[in-house]
Each structure stands twice: as structure tokens, then as C-alpha cells.
Amino acid sequence: MTSRPSVEPFAASGIGAFDHECGVLVVGFGCAGAAAAFEAARSGADVVVLERASGPGGTSAQSGGELYLGGGTEIQKACGFDDDPGAMYAYLEAALGPNADTAKLRLYCDGSVEHFEWFRERGVPFNPTFYDAPTWMPMSEDGLMWLGENAWPYNTISRPVPRGHRPAAGGFGGGVLMERLSAAATAAGAVTHTDTLATNLVLDATGRVTGAVARKYGNTVTYRARRAVILTTGGFVDNDEMLADHAPLLLGHGKVSDGLDDGSGIRMATAIGAATRRMSVVEIALTALPAMVCRGMLVDGLGRRFLNEDVYPGHWSVHAVKHQPGPYWTIIDEEGFEDVPEPDRWGLRPKHVTETLAELEESLGMPAGSLESTVETYNRHAANGEDPYFHKDPKWLRPLKPPFAAIDPRAGFFGGGTGSATGAAGFTLGGLHTTVDGEVLNHSGVPVPGLYAAGRAASGMHGEGYVSGTSLGDGTFFGRRAGRHAGTAAIR
Amino acid sequence: MTSRPSVEPFAASGIGAFDHECGVLVVGFGCAGAAAAFEAARSGADVVVLERASGPGGTSAQSGGELYLGGGTEIQKACGFDDDPGAMYAYLEAALGPNADTAKLRLYCDGSVEHFEWFRERGVPFNPTFYDAPTWMPMSEDGLMWLGENAWPYNTISRPVPRGHRPAAGGFGGGVLMERLSAAATAAGAVTHTDTLATNLVLDATGRVTGAVARKYGNTVTYRARRAVILTTGGFVDNDEMLADHAPLLLGHGKVSDGLDDGSGIRMATAIGAATRRMSVVEIALTALPAMVCRGMLVDGLGRRFLNEDVYPGHWSVHAVKHQPGPYWTIIDEEGFEDVPEPDRWGLRPKHVTETLAELEESLGMPAGSLESTVETYNRHAANGEDPYFHKDPKWLRPLKPPFAAIDPRAGFFGGGTGSATGAAGFTLGGLHTTVDGEVLNHSGVPVPGLYAAGRAASGMHGEGYVSGTSLGDGTFFGRRAGRHAGTAAIR
């Protein structure tokens, strides 16, 4: 109801001569846009990519660069792991569920080895070495890591095999990834128009999408797309009004984005009757450090554990922010803290150190006896190598003993990067409802002629869950499919 | 992607002669439709109401009939309570939040006494007597009840005043309510076409909504609306595909509906570019009995309490289903059970009765020591009249002592009614994005010409919370506003 720029469509008949014309117009140059542009150009279409920033990359370039890939890649084999698409599917169906998109997931798993090779052919480097400990991101150049496959209950659902593939970059690999993918799209013939923000779709008299209107340096620029428009504009974590309407869990937390994920593509498309799905689903990462959490316990504001601490850290993060009363604390003892390798401490020191749990719970503002009761129960079972509540791996179970310490996750890994006051930051997973070929569907379940979407502008293979590497993974995989489909669509 | 009937709009130019013509076309004859039809007719418009069932009523007629009203109604005064709109607003902003629609809420609270009088003038009977105990629904004819105002933390946010107004009907009052409201709409001049399912909106060449297409006994029937169309078609709990896309929490639970809440109006409107909001927000009711829960405790599948048990039962229900690992159990001791008045037992008997908590937790499949630890902590604090975890009112606090019993909520109140295997049933609260006058907004924040919505086809005053009486309450209140606005809209 506040005044804001219109996202309603333009009629092609009202535009007359377009400023630019191409076969396929890709809107947004993150990983999905790069993959779509590459394949559309390879299919023989002439491709223009619009990017509102001054260069390619988007949120993808600022990510860790993990790619969830498997089914038997060369890196998995080199590290001694035997994988197959069925085991990969079983894990992802559980970890990305409930309500994962099984059709997309099946294609993704069956095509994963080929997709890995596609990255290698584009020059993305992967080292055949394995990092074997709980972490958000190793500060090494190891090319393979666990992403929750080895933790309960997932290790009972599918044979555990690590599938986190990492570009060799020493830390955040998204930059290297996007450098190679954008160069590949350009080499394939895609032309990029930077500083160009698409604002509205263009429709012909039959309701077909035939182009887009954009703003460049304050001027209106029109693009005619003879085959199709592909929206790869990202999610909507940077649009607080959309968050309040569709994904309020993220309000007030940090934003994992390049600052431009304002849902522009989703809004342009829904304005012409496109359907969305899973708009409330989000990923959120708490900044607690996995190496400390797994050696101690993660508790809520009432001093209670709530998940096995050796699970993929995104899982305990989402569980905490979604379901538990905050604040959250990592509780660890001296022996556990000393056991954490120095690089995995990220410079953190405990602020609360006490000889008794009664002192610790009091200093954290928890009810009297709450943390005492939690640790007493934990210790009793840990002494038997058991965790009947949450099934943490016995390798991390040991009765905790004084002195104890509490560590505030707000001081952790991401906290420094994003300045999130809550110690949590996230992004959206819902978006336009698409077919496996990226065609955007209307509310009757029929493709909107001429319109495609991929990446976080679309709802991908995720149900209500997430693990690292599946957003870059499905963005590129279904971006490629959309590019191939749109690149060979009939010319109008 | 499955084949299904189209909800895409029809062009007015393609219809030629319409079968019916009216000023205002109201689609759906539940409480919002009745209120809208009444006011539109009172404003001088000729009104047709389409109802897909064979008579008026909808889900509203099957509800308990509670209306959340206050600010100083005659019933509140007669029962000795002093209320004001500010106190009402403060409670609802918290209970319907976070992210309640403050503009709608302010109008609702300021207009609540007038709205109560409107119901009385339509012949809805209210007794000036007060029911003072935790319950889903008293089996008495008392006209006033608590709806969570007196429980922590709400009693610290706003002076507690009961605002649950109940039509005198001896139990479920929705039938009486809808009988009076539908009669009032008819008496005001609205004409009803039953067995008529609206399927598509009609647009003129400028994009204005000028009518609807419907199905009646297998035939297509067209309606031209000279002023406006008002969608009062209800929510989408009966549409599993929409639930999976937008409100997956309700999948697998019982449905609080007349079986026809399939989101048809929401889909027709989004097909022409209308915006939605809060589509993931739901109400869900667990069938545990408040009179037992408040005298004992409600625990999750790990034997842990999670909320003050004297809060509005919708709150512990939503908290359980949203945030706690199930199954859920009411734990009570013999003294507590014997204290429950016979009518509040609904015939329920405990199935698990034991002398020790160790036996009880084992028979319920909980971790060893879990329930023992919970009850030990609870009893220690209850002996001091305290509940530092959740702040239950001291009047319900008492150390529990053997023998103990566990009661499965799946055997409770609603469970018998809906046959829900989970012991929980709910409905959707999200829908079309509307102004305070019911105008449906597009994705640019501009009203779609000729289109209004109210009731659960729209997102009302709710943020992410709910209390009983606010859905019938805002459906009728904003239904009336939509009817007045549409009834005086310009004729085209």
C-alpha cells in the first residue's frame, strides 16, 4: 500500500521499437544465470544477460562455494568413497524434506556425476582430498567434506557418503566458482549488460512473455526476447516487506546475500499470474562453531538440549531459530575446549567460565536447576556411550566435568562477517513454481509462454529442509536445463 | 503440473451476453459473505451471492461460533468487566503476532462495540453470564469466556479482560450465528444462487474485474457485476496441493472446514496478478482437554514441558505441533484428575496409570529419566508456587504425586469430531492481500479494479498468531467494510 515502483507488465504493442533484441534474455548473473546463459548460447541462441550490479557474481560469488554433488564423482572415488545416485537421493529426500520436489531431486541425483564434470570442464578446480570433521567450512583446500550424511537419523536412512564438493580456494570458494562460470558463459557467446535492472516483463496480446523493460543509469531500456526470458534474479531476503508477508522467520536476522536479493523477478512474474511455492521456507545459520558444539552441547535459553550436536550445523541452526526459545549457548568443558584444533576456534574465547553449573546457569539467566538437570542427564547416558534423546555419535560423547564454559554463538563465524545482532543469518528458498525444465507455471498448472526461472527466484528441489551446496547445486543444474530448453524454444 | 480445471480469467469481450447481471457479486456464503452481502445490499446495490453448497453457512456454520469482541460491550459490562479498545488492541497485537496487521487491528478494536451491537441487531443471542475456567468451549450457554487474556505473558502486556463472546446455543454456536446472518443478508435484499461454483473471474480490456464464470449442475453460467466482485470463498485447508506449496504444517492433520475450503477464490485472484500474504500461517488445535492440561502438564515425546498449560489452548496446540517432537501427552495425577468437573472430561479416561514416573515414561517410550526429571523440577518449584520456566498461574501449581496417569490427546475433544489420526486439526489464515476496505492489491501495491475479498480468502488482521473468535470476528468486520465499499463503487 506504500507507493513503490510498479512491477505490472508492459504490453508489447505499446513499446513499438525495442532498444535491444535477442533470442534468450537472462535476467541476473549469479550461478543460475551463468549456467542458463552458457547452455542457451551453446544451443545456438543469441543470449543477453542483464545484471543490475556492475559485474557478474551476485550472491553466489559471496558464498562458500560448496556444491552438493555425488553419485560417484572422481573426487569421491579419489578419496576412497563409493557412492551411487540412489544413496544420494535417499539422503537428500530426507535432508531437504519433508515435501522435497522428488521429480527435480531424481534428475539432480541421476545427473550429478555429469554435472560435476561440467564444472570441471568450465575450469572449476577441486582437490582430491577429504576434510573429516564437523565444520561450517574448512579453512583448507580440501575438495570433499561431510554435509550431514554421517549423523543420526540420516545415517540410518542412507549409507553415509560425503558429498560436499569444494572449489579449491582456501576458504570461501564462491568467487572462484563464479569467475569460471561467468567466463564460460561469455566465451560461449552470451553478452552481458551490467548496471541494468529489469523491472517489468513485456507481454504480447496472447499473454506470451516477449521481453522485459529495464532501468540503466536512470533511463528506461527495452529488450525484446524472441525465444524466452529466464529469470535468475535470486531470492527475496533483502525485501523486508516480502519477508513479513511470506518468510517472517528471517526478519531481524542477518541476510546471506549480496544486498540485491529483493525478489524483483518473483514479483514481476507473479504480477502476470505466475504461481509460487514454498515461499516460507528458509535456510538460517547460527554462528555457533561446530567443532565446539559437537564436543559439548548446544542449549536453548531454558538450558535444554534439542538436537544431536554432530548433525549438519544448518540443521541445529534452523532448529534453534525456528523452534527453541533463545538465546542459545554452546556449553563446553575445559577438556573439550582444549581439544578443539586452533583453526576451528576462529579466535573465540569463552566469556562465562565457572566451576559449577549452578553458577553458570545463573550467569546465563536460566531457571535454577535447568542446566544442572540437562548436564546430569547427559552425563549419565554419556558414561554409557549413549544419547537416548538425540543419538549423537558416541565418538563425541563424554561426561562433561568442571570447569565449564558457555560460548555465545553471536560471537561466532558468520557473526563477524554479517554483523548480525542475533548471531543468525539466512536466505529464502521459495520462489516461482517451475517444471524440471524451468518453465514457470501459472495457477492452473500450465507453463506461462516464454517465461523460465531458475536459482532462488524459483522453488527448486527443496522441501522444508536445506543442506549447504544444494542451492548453488540446483541453481546451476536447473539453470542449465532452463537454458537448454529456452535456447531451443520456437522463435516468435 | 497435474491436469486440473483452469482458474485463468475470461475476457469479457469473449462472453457476449451474460446469463445474470447484478451490482455486487459475492462469491461464497459463509460469515464474510453474509456480512458483505448485507452491507452491500443496505448500501443500495443489487447483490447476488454465489454459494457452491446447497445452502448458506460454509465453515462458519460448523464452528464454535466464538466472536472475539470487546472494548466495553454490554455483555462485558453485565459480567462486571471494564474494557477499552486500547487494552483489546494490546492483547491482540501480541496474541495475533508477531507481524499482526496493525491498521486492520486498530479499526477492529475501535469498532468492536459497534460490531457487537450489529450482531445483536441481526438477532444473534448472547447471555450476560461468564464461564471462568480453561476450556476449548464450555458446554454451557454462558455468553462470555477467556481467550488467553489472563495467562502469562499476555497478562503482563495488557490488563486481562475476557473477550470471548458466545452465541447462546449450548455448545457449537456457529449454526445459530450463520442462520441469523444469512437471513439478515436475504432480508436486506441479497439474492442467493446455491449449487453454483465460481471458477474464473471476468476481465474487461482494461484489466478491471467485471464478473465471474461459474458451474451449476454441470453447466457454465456467467455473471456480470457492474460494481464489483467480492471473494469470500474461505481458506485452502481442503487443497492438499496448496497446503504442500504454502502451509505444509497442516498436511496430515485434520481439517477444520466444511470440506469445501479449497482455495478457489485465492487461485482465481492470483491468476490475474493479485498478491497474497501470510500464506504459511495456520491455526491448529490439539485435542488435549484444557481442564486436564492446566491441572497437570503437557509434555512432548521426550517428556519435556514447553508452555504454561493455562494459556489459551490454541497456543499450546500450535506450539506443540509446530515446535515439539511428538507424540504429546497430558500428564496428570489422581488428585488433579478427580478435580476435573465431569462435563470437562468429555468421557475420557486415562489409559496409562502407574505408581512411578519411571514406569510411566517407559510405557510412553520416553528416554529413561526424562519424565522423572521434568516432574522433579516442576514439583520443586511448584512447592514454592513458582514456575520459572513458563510462568503458569500459581492457582494451577501443585506438586504432582502418585498415582500418575498419561492421557493421549488424540482421544480428545476434536479427535472424535474430525477423526484426525494426529489429534490435531486446523485451518489456514493466509490469503489475498487486501486494504482495510477489502480491496485486493496487486504486486505493485495497487488495488485490482473491481475486486474485493474478506474472510479466510484474505489475509486478515492476523500476523503469525491466532485466538478463537478472531476469524469469525475479522471475517464479519472486514466483510462488512468490503460490502459497504463495493456497494457504493462506481457502476461500469
Tell whether B433 lies on the interface with A, counting CB pairs under 8 A. yes
Note which residues in 437-466 of chain A have CB less than 8 A from chain B.
441-446, 463-464
pLDDT beyond 80 at B182: yes
* CA-based nearest residue to A40, from A469, A437, A441, A431: A437
Mean pLDDT over residues B394-411, rounded?
Answer: 91
Say if residues A66 and A164 touch (Cβ distance below 8 Å).
Answer: yes
CA distance linking residue A480 with residue A487, whole number of Å = 10
The strand pair at A282-286 and A424-428 is best described as: antiparallel
Note which residues in 106-145 of chain A have CB less than 8 A from chain B.
none
Which residue in the set A267, A380, A433 is minimally distant from B443, CB to CB?
Answer: A267
CB contact under 8 A, A271 and B444: yes
A271 interaction partners in chain B (CB closer than 8 Å): 273, 442-444
pLDDT at A404: 97
Q: Could you tell me which CATH class the domain A288-417 is placed in?
A: alpha beta
- Summarize pLDDT for B51-80 with one digit per residue, the tens: 999 999 999 999 999 999 999 999 999 999
Q: Which residue of A has its CA nearest to B324?
A: A323
3-state helix, strand, coil in chain A (%, to 5): 35, 20, 45
pLDDT at A3: 55
Could you give phi then psi for residue B467, rounded to 5 degrees?
-135, 155
CB contact under 8 A, B433 and A245: yes
CB contact under 8 A, A4 and B445: yes
Which residue in the set B7, B280, B435 is minimally distant from A1, CB to CB?
Answer: B435
Q: Which residue of A has its CA nearest to B6?
A: A444
Percent of chain B whose predicted confidence (pLDDT) is above 90: 88
A276 interaction partners in chain B (CB closer than 8 Å): 245
Residue B156 burial by Cβ neighbours in a 10 Å radius (0-12, 13-18, 19+): exposed
For residue A201, which amino acid is it?
Answer: L
- Between A and B, how many CB-CB pairs are < 8 A? 122
Helix axes B102-110, B85-95, angle to 10 degrees: 150
pLDDT at A411: 63
Residue B283, CA distances (Å) to A107, A275, B267, B408 in order: 36, 24, 21, 20
Give, as one character, the DSSP assignment of residue A256.
-
The string of DSSP codes covering B170-239 is SS--HHHHHHHHHHHHHHTT-EEE-SEEEEEEEE-TTS-EEEEEEEETTEEEEEEEEEEEEE-----TT-
Mutate to test the interface with B, among A242, A280, A306, A372 (most CBs of B within 10 A): A280
CA distance linking residue B184 with residue B182, whole number of Å = 5
Around Cβ B319, how many Cβ atoms within 10 Å?
18
pLDDT at A412: 56
* Domain-wise residue ranges, chain B: 10-62+174-283+425-487, 67-165, 288-417
How is residue B303 written as a grid cell? 517428556
How is residue A304 written as a grid cell? 535444554
Which residue in the set A6, A278, A435 is minimally distant from B1, CB to CB?
Answer: A435
* CA-based nearest residue to A164, from A104, A116, A234, A110: A116
Tell whether A436 lies on the interface with B, counting CB pairs under 8 A. no
Say if residues B87 and B158 touch (Cβ distance below 8 Å).
Answer: yes
* CA-based nearest residue to B245, from A281, A282, A319, A473: A281
- Summarize pLDDT for B106-115 with one digit per residue, the tens: 999 999 999 9
Tell whether A389 lies on the interface with B, counting CB pairs under 8 A. yes
Tell whether B102 lies on the interface with A, counting CB pairs under 8 A. no
pLDDT at A346: 81
Band of pLDDT at residue B416, cut at 50, 70 and 90: very low
pLDDT beyond 90 at B412: no
Complex confidence, ipTM: 0.92
A444 interaction partners in chain B (CB closer than 8 Å): 4-8, 271
B376 interaction partners in chain A (CB closer than 8 Å): 373
CA distance linking residue B423 with residue B412, whole number of Å = 7
Instruction: Determine the distance in angstroms separating the CA of B432 from the nearest CA of chain A, rounded to an integer.
Output: 11
Note which residues in 300-329 of chain A have CB less than 8 A from chain B.
302, 304, 322-324
CB contact under 8 A, A444 and B272: no
The strand pair at B10-11 and A191-193 is best described as: unpaired
pLDDT beyond 50 at B417: no
pLDDT at B234: 98
Task: Give the SS3 label for residue B381.
Answer: helix
CB contact under 8 A, B246 and A277: yes
pLDDT beyond 90 at B346: no
pLDDT at A420: 65
Q: What are the residue ranges in chain A where pLDDT is below 50?
A: 1-2, 414-418
CA distance linking residue B325 with residue B398, whole number of Å = 26
How is residue A189 written as a grid cell? 557467446
CB contact under 8 A, A4 and B464: no
CB contact under 8 A, A277 and B245: yes
Q: Could you tell me which CATH class the domain A10-62+174-283+425-487 is placed in?
A: alpha beta
- Summarize pLDDT for B445-468 with one digit per residue, the tens: 999 999 999 999 999 999 999 999
Q: Which residue of A has its CA nearest to B274?
A: A271
Which residue in the set A248, A278, A389 is minimally distant from B302, CB to CB?
Answer: A389
